[in-house]
Amino acid sequence: MTISKKLRTWGAAYLLILPSFIFLVAFTFYPIAYSVVTSLDAASGGIGFGNYSKMLSSTEFQQAIRNNIVYAFFSTVPAVLIGLLLAIVLNTKMKGKGFYRFAVFYPTILPIATASMIWVFLLSQSIGLVNHLLGIMGLPSKIDWVNTSPYAMVSIIIVYIWKYSGYYMLLFLSGLQSIDSSLYDEAYLEGASGWERLRMITLPLLSPTTFFVVLIAIVNSFQAVDQIYVMTKGGPHNSTNVLLYYIYEYGFVYWEPEIASSASTLLFAFLLILTFFYWYGGQRKVNYER
């Protein structure tokens, strides 16, 4: 290639990327830089960690972190397990497969804001169906779900599981379909039971998919804010306040940008660590498949 032709290619490439790059810088990288600078009070000349120590020592923040960990764990684990179970069961020829897939996947495409609205109704204390069903089963049935602790946390966890199980099922299904079915035949001929085939073939070969699904599930649980805004507003007594809702509150309710920026910076750091795992795992996955 001649030099001028090479330069022309470079120019074309940069021009093609430029529009996207401008938006990337303005709405992803500038916000990160803004948050870091604001949180460190760096605009005024010096650098200080005052905002961080103030935030970290406040019970509200500690509670939000604790809540977020509880929320992440108790929503991710059931949703991923249900997704896995559904995928294993649906990965066969069977009648009604399309119906089942619709029935478990449709919440993925619903807005969380509207989904939460349905659940507020289902969970209402006086005429909610959930309390009614609990009553039929002889369980406590006067629960004020979204307004008392710990039920408010249970409520937003239910919405998460309901919303995402079908999506994780789909991701597992595509992972399952890449497993070579002759492996199962061989195991079958050697006399392996269904359970053994699951344990010795399916789960190990599915592990790269599982790894990605769990990461995506954790990220989702740290993005939770819509259902909290609609259902609980972080209450009662801060019991459903999580990191992102905390950022929203300090940014837009209390108007304390320094605190909101400090919390955002921590969230970015956490997400970047997850991204690193994502890529590290991705690298391994590629080698594994070769």
Q: How many residues bind other proteins (CB under 8 A)?
A: 103
The interface with other proteins within residues 168-197 (CB under 8 A) comprises: 170-171, 173-175, 177, 181-182, 184-185, 187-189, 194, 197
- From CA 49, how far away is CA 53, in angstroms rounded? 6
Q: What minimum distance in Å lies between the beta carbon of 36 and other proteins?
A: 10
What size, in residues, is the chain? 290
Closest alpha carbon to 87 in 97, 74, 95, 77 = 97
Q: Which stretch binds other proteins (CB under 8 A): 50-58, 61-69, 143-151, 252-260?
A: 252-260
Alpha helices in the chain (DSSP H): 3-24, 30-39, 50-57, 59-90, 97-105, 112-122, 129-136, 151-176, 182-189, 194-197, 203-221, 226-231, 243-248, 257-289
Query: Going residue by residue from 79 to 118, which x/- string records binding to other proteins, judged by CB under 8 A?
Result: ---x--xx--xxxxxx-x-xxxxxxxxxxxxxxxxxx-xx
Interface residue with other proteins among 39, 155, 165, 221 (CB under 8 A) is 165
Closest alpha carbon to 262 in 103, 53, 114, 117 = 53
The interface with other proteins within residues 9-48 (CB under 8 A) comprises: 9-10, 12-14, 16-17, 19-21, 23-24, 26-32, 34-35
Which of residues 74 and 248 has its CB atom nearest to other proteins in the complex? 248
Which of residues 175 and 234 has its CB atom nearest to other proteins in the complex? 175
Closest alpha carbon to 89 in 16, 180, 160, 169 = 169
Interface residue with other proteins among 141, 214, 225, 235 (CB under 8 A) is 225
Query: Going residue by residue from 50 to 69, which x/- string records binding to other proteins, judged by CB under 8 A?
Result: --------------------
